[in-house]
């Protein structure tokens, strides 16, 4: 039996619409549980970032951030699609889950860096999110440079941090007008031990839930790999210059 999961779709029927294109920076599903992640720190040991089970869904993964000093943030090395640079994007979105309430006198601004440049910071000290629930944050970026590869650092500036971050994406700023085009859907399916894509991928990688890469291929729309029934797999594919990430269950 085939199981299918759609990861990107838009449809237009004789209308002019605008599409919002996103680039997935990190969702941690290809990482191993308890894997240490890089941090931006003033001093070594100011904070930790570790891949943990999602606090509300143990089948998913997120990054747990714990800080004991200010300006300790998660660090992610980013390579944008070929032909794109950071100035092509104007927003960042991600999910955050606070494990504990921050004291009212705590210095707590959300900060986002590209390399050493601050590309977003809260104008004032604020409560970032409710406790023990996932909240989606979206920020408009500024001070951007035409760079394709860079370190993206983000998090709450606090010496009492204890929170999860997940599903980090950049939103492309240039909306594209579309007219009189047919519905286009990107999807992945699995049948027996064959994974099939609806479009040719210039690069295709398949990971198990622990983050181990099982197979990789180039310039293909299908790949053979040994899969176990009931198991979750993560597919990363570059299609038309965009990285697509999808989970699929055999």
Exposed / middle / buried, residue 146 (Cβ in 10 Å: 0-12, 13-18, 19+): exposed
Domains (range + CATH), the chain: 3-16+178-249 (2.60.40), 22-172 (2.60.120.260)
Residue 141's pLDDT band (cuts 50, 70, 90)? very high
- Which of 7-16, 45-54, 99-108, 121-130 tops mean pLDDT? 45-54
Cβ pair 62, 46 in contact under 8 A: no
Q: Please say if the pLDDT value at position 38 is more than 70.
A: yes
Q: What's the pLDDT score for residue 189?
A: 86
Q: What's the pLDDT score for residue 125?
A: 86
Q: Tell me the pLDDT tens digit for each residue of 232-247.
A: 888 888 887 778 888 8
For 62-89, give one letter per residue: b (16+ CB within 10 A) or e: bbbbebebbbbbbbbebebbeebebebb
Cα separation, 50 vs 32, whole angstroms: 10
Q: What's the pLDDT score for residue 3?
A: 38
Average pLDDT value for residue range 212-226: 90
Side-by-side strand order, sheet with 184-191 = 3-10, 184-191, 194-201, 220-224
Residue 45's pLDDT band (cuts 50, 70, 90)? very high
Average pLDDT value for residue range 141-149: 94
Q: Tell me the pLDDT tens digit for each residue of 156-211.
A: 999 999 999 999 999 987 544 333 333 345 678 888 889 998 888 888 889 888 88
- % of the chain residues with pLDDT over 70: 84
Q: What's the pLDDT score for residue 51?
A: 98
Residue 63's pLDDT band (cuts 50, 70, 90)? very high
Compute the mean pLDDT over every residue in the chain, rounded to the nearest whole number. Answer: 84
Q: Give CA separation, 50 vs 65, 134, 163, 223, in Å.
A: 7, 18, 11, 31
- Of 49, 115, 236, 89, nearest to 169 (Cα)? 89
Q: Please say if the pLDDT value at position 147 is more than 90.
A: yes
For 113-133, give one letter per residue: b (16+ CB within 10 A) or e: bbeeeebbeeeeeeebbeeee
Q: What's the pLDDT score for residue 102?
A: 63
Q: Please say if the pLDDT value at position 85 is more than 80.
A: yes
Q: Tell me the pLDDT tens digit for each residue of 1-36.
A: 333 443 333 333 333 333 458 899 999 999 999 999
pTM: 0.64
Q: Please say if the pLDDT value at position 106 is more than 90.
A: no
Q: Please say if the pLDDT value at position 249 is more than 90.
A: no
Long-range contacts of 223-227 (CB under 8 A, 24+ apart): 223/194, 223/195, 224/193, 224/194, 225/193, 225/195, 226/193, 227/190, 227/193, 227/195
């Amino acid at each position: 039996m085939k199981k299918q999961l759609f990861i990107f779709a838009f449809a237009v029927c004789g209308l002019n619409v605008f599409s919002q294109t996103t680039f997935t920076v990190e969702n941690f599903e290809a990482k191993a549980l308890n894997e240490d992640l890089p941090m931006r720190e003033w001093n070594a040991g100011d904070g930790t970032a570790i891949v943990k089970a999602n606090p509300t869904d143990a089948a998913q993964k997120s990054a747990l951030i714990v800080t004991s000093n200010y300006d300790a943030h998660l660090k992610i090395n980013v390579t944008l699609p070929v032909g794109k640079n950071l100035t092509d994007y104007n927003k960042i979105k991600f999910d955050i889950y606070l494990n504990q309430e921050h004291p009212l006198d705590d210095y707590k601004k959300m900060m986002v860096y590209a390399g050493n440049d601050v590309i977003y910071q809260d104008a004032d000290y604020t409560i970032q999110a409710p406790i023990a629930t996932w909240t989606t944050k979206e920020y408009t970026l500024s001070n951007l440079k035409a760079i394709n590869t860079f370190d993206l650092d983000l998090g709450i500036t606090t010496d009492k941090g204890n929170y999860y971050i997940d599903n980090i994406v950049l939103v492309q700023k240039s909306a594209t007008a579309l007219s009189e085009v047919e519905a286009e859907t990107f999807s992945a399916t699995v049948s027996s031990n064959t994974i099939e894509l609806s479009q040719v991928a210039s690069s295709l990688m398949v990971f198990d839930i622990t983050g181990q890469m099982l197979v990789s291929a180039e310039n293909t729309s299908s790949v053979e790999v040994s899969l176990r029934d009931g198991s979750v797999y993560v597919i990363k594919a570059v299609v038309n210059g965009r990285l697509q990430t999808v989970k699929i269950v055999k």
